[in-house]
Amino acid sequence: MLAPICSVAFDYAVDTVIFEGAAGTTKIKITASTRPFVRAAHKTTELRNAGTQGKQDWRSATVDGKRVIGTDQTLPKDGLPQLSALNIWFGDAKISVPAEHLNHVFLPHMLPATIQKGYAETLVAISADAKAIHLSLGVGDGGGSGTYDLLIESDGTVSASPVRRPGP
């Protein structure tokens, strides 16, 4: 008896425009791309002690030393869409987000920054001086959807730390 073969086909987005807008006279554009994940091309670790996040020896799966995002903390199978490029234009200045902020992000929702029926896949906040954006990108397969947040500045600084307000 032959076992059924299941396969899932993915579209791998290339230079998909997820935002176009402006702050004052500065035009802002964001594009993103994905590629098939190839485990052998990365340093990976498996999820340890699944379902026991309260234990001291619990560990999320990692890709290139960073906790995976978009797969419920498990190491993805080969072929799963992996965020491979994220480019932001501040006017004519193009900032390419370094791979260290991309390789651990899976199943990114490559949809334009719109809000429909109270839901948003992608949110973009632009500073009033158009020198920084906060990007909140939806990730995951729907059953475990989440977000991946980045602060990208026009000088090329990229941070995954939360945006903060100054204290009094």
In a domain, 68, yes or no: yes
In a domain, 108, yes or no: yes
**Are the beta carbons of 16 and 111 closer than 8 angstroms?**
no
- Which amino acid, residue 124? V
In sequence order, which residues have a C-beta less than 8 Å from that of residue 63 and are 6 or more positions away?
42, 43, 44, 75, 103, 104
Q: Which of 93, 100, 105, 85 is nearest to 18 (CA)?
A: 85
In a domain, 136, yes or no: yes
In a domain, 76, yes or no: yes
pLDDT of res. 6: 44
In a domain, 40, yes or no: yes
Q: Provide the number of structural domains found in the chain.
A: 1
Q: Which domain holds residue 125?
A: 16-46+59-159
pLDDT of res. 8: 57
Per-10-residue mean pLDDT of the chain, 168 residues long, equals 52 91 95 95 84 66 92 88 96 96 93 83 92 93 80 96 83
Residue 23's Cβ-side half-sphere holds a number of Cα atoms within 13 Å equal to: 17
In a domain, 166, yes or no: no
pTM, two decimals, is: 0.85
In a domain, 51, yes or no: no
Write the pLDDT tens digit of every residue in 27-66. Answer: 999 999 999 999 999 999 887 766 555 666 677 889 999 9
In a domain, 78, yes or no: yes
